[in-house]
Structure 1
Amino acid sequence: MHATGTPEWVSEISSAPAAPAPGDAWALSWDGVHEGVVVIAQVHDDFILGIPVTTDTATSTEVTVELGTTNVALWPQAETGLGSFLLHRRLGNVLDDAQVREVRLWAAERANLSTLISGSGSANANSLTELLDEYRRRCFIEWPSETELIVDVDATGMNARQFRDATGFDTPRVLELWGGDLLDEAELHSLGDNAHAWTMPAHDLITRELATPELKPLIVELCEAAGVSERQARNTARSAYALAARTASVSERASTRAADTLRVLIQDAHAS
């Protein structure tokens, strides 16, 4: 399943799925739209460091490699942190671990290239600036955003019943919030002066699981079936996942639970 605007040379590449790893090239997407190609430099819990890839002719500040059957340029000086949820499809391995280190040290002017080759000619500062601007925008695509918050249960110093009494939220809703559901705007407002102390960004186990690229195809399918944005689809899945975690009939394994949750949501969307 290709995102809108995916270049033909990217669509033609066929590669076996695998977990994100340094040296692998990935196509990116958000909201069903192609957002470029990167080679992964580092993998972290909920984000990657990616080296942009273009089909421009490499100059003396880029490295030339082959991806699929296409000669491409790697722009290590434009390495950017990107949310793991942007990873759409693996395109194959481009660099081994030693070469990832080699190209990063070279970009930092701490070593020369030994197994890789740079392009030739003067660097195009305008092209680099444009590329940096593009990837800076992608860096600021966040899910969840800073305004999408959950209850910090430990920070409240309460159990669910005490929180219900303190906030006036009904019991079913408190149980959802205790399970990691996102607070809506009205709920945040009703917390008043306690909103900052009792909440935290939703960067938890649920988010990390739903952000894995293995689930991206199901997220995209839910967007299409329900006619919603990727952010809406992910937030809906978060809520459903929290409920599934309390349902004995759903797998106890987090990865299976997340996939099962998305499949149920997709079925419901098609049925409605």
Structure 2
Amino acid sequence: MAGDRPVGVPASAHQLWDDGVNADSARPGDLWILSWDDEVLGVALIAAARDDFALAWPVTLPGEASFAPGLVIENSPLGIPVTLWPTRETGIGLHLLDRSLGRLLDANAIRPLAFALEDGEEPAFPAAPGSAWDEDNRAADRALVEHWSGLCFHLAGGENEMRLDSEKVLAAGGSSKSTAKLLGLPPQQLRPIWVGDAEIDHEQLVALAEDLGVDEVTLLQPDPLAGVVSRLAAPRFKRAIKARMAATRLNEAAVRGAARSEYTLAARDDANTADAIDRKLRDAIARAGRDQP
């Protein structure tokens, strides 16, 4: 992981940067490295954590952007001062959380700090010298805002897939046989689409809806594995996903998609507990891309 270390990370913190600390969930106040496709996208403080996303305050390291309204935090887990940007808060998907670097702020300090900045009061930490309004800083500030705003819309894949509801096709006068003929698919290829395990693409959906004389949306169902896809985004699976990427040379979206497909093939576990689902997900990740040469 040495290739993704920013120049501002001192040698004393190289191991921490490379390995992180033992944390499998996001906690307010912790400092996290964000990544996608094994590329570091930034460092952020977790301001709040939800089941499917986190509120993040960007953090920049020595050598990167640092000016007001950024706040200087002298003591960081990396052993260097960092600049915290509470006013640049953004929501991010949990799938971007790679590894924790440890605690940057006490969780109880986050809300008072945010309220102080909103109310124009003096924050508990000093502002970085200079200002976003300074001519030399405007471009850097704009780039910072654009980058983190973009991360807000970053998706892991699978969130908006279209799943056919075969009961609705039958109710509209269709059948599996007529659908297979219309779409030009043999039964073995239609089956995962018919039962909702695989996505139906837009052209197929349009053709089927036109043939049945109904609106496209009336033939769809919510993804039956939406909860699984959401759970797979948790940071506790990131290390295994990255290892599978290295083993298969697939990108991250492909590994996550393959893991979802492998999950549907796993043996049924009647326990259906969180631990059982996590075991199945880890097994599915380990099998993802198994047909790759």
**TM-score exceeds 0.5:** yes
Structure 1 residue corresponding to 2:254, chosen from 228, 232, 238? 232
Structure 1 residue corresponding to 2:40, chosen from 19, 28, 34? 34
Structure 2 residue corresponding to 1:133, chosen from 146, 159, 168? 146
**Aligned counterpart, 2:195:** 178
Contact 2:65 2:140 in 1 (8 A): no
Of 50-59 and 66-75, deviating more is 50-59
**Aligned counterpart, 2:235:** 213
**Aligned counterpart, 1:25:** 31
Q: Deviations over 1:164-195 (max 9, x none)?
A: 35633737744566354333455445434543
**Aligned counterpart, 2:130:** 121
**Aligned counterpart, 1:59:** 67
Q: Identity percentage over the alignment?
A: 25
Q: How does 1:58-97 map to 2 (within 5 A)?
A: 58-65=66-73, 66-97=76-107
State the alpha-carbon separation in 2 of the partners of residues 130 and 47 from structure 1.
Answer: 23
TM-score normalized by the length of structure 2: 0.76
Contact 1:155 1:197 in 2 (8 A): no
Structure 2 residue corresponding to 1:223, chosen from 242, 245, 251? 245
Alpha-carbon distance, 1:154 to partner: 9.6
Alpha-carbon distance, 1:263 to partner: 1.4
State the alpha-carbon separation in 1 of the partners of residues 5 and 194 from structure 2.
Answer: 38
Amino acid at match of 2:195: W
State the alpha-carbon separation in 1 of the partners of residues 175 and 14 from structure 2.
Answer: 51
Report the secondary structure of 1:235's partner residue.
helix
Report the secondary structure of 1:89's partner residue.
strand
Distance 1:190 1:126, change over 3 A: same
Larger radius of gyration: 2
Q: Deviations over 1:36-87 (max 9, x none)?
A: 1111112222221111110147433112222321210011121111111111
- Structure with bigger strand share is 1
Report the secondary structure of 2:162's partner residue.
strand
Distance 1:201 1:41, change over 3 A: farther
Report the secondary structure of 2:288's partner residue.
helix
Q: How does 1:196-207 map to 2 (within 5 A)?
A: 196-199=217-220, 204-207=226-229
Amino acid at match of 2:241: I
Gaps of 5+ in 1: none
Gaps of 5+ in 2: none
**Aligned counterpart, 2:113:** 103
State the alpha-carbon separation in 2 of the partners of residues 94 and 20 from structure 1.
Answer: 13
Distance 1:223 1:238, change over 3 A: same
Report the secondary structure of 2:4's partner residue.
coil
Distance 1:237 1:104, change over 3 A: same
Amino acid at match of 2:127: S
Alpha-carbon distance, 1:102 to partner: 2.4
State the alpha-carbon separation in 1 of the partners of residues 239 and 176 from structure 2.
Answer: 38
TM-score normalized by the length of structure 1: 0.81
State the alpha-carbon separation in 1 of the partners of residues 190 and 72 from structure 2.
Answer: 54
State the alpha-carbon separation in 2 of the partners of residues 125 and 77 from structure 1.
Answer: 15
State the alpha-carbon separation in 1 of the partners of residues 5 and 168 from structure 2.
Answer: 46
Q: Establish whether residue 256 from structure 1 lines up as the match of residue 279 from structure 2.
A: yes
State the alpha-carbon separation in 2 of the partners of residues 164 and 176 from structure 1.
Answer: 10
Distance 1:217 1:113, change over 3 A: same
**Aligned counterpart, 2:163:** 151
Q: Deviations over 1:194-238 (max 9, x none)?
A: 433333675811211211111111111222222222111111111
Distance 1:54 1:201, change over 3 A: farther
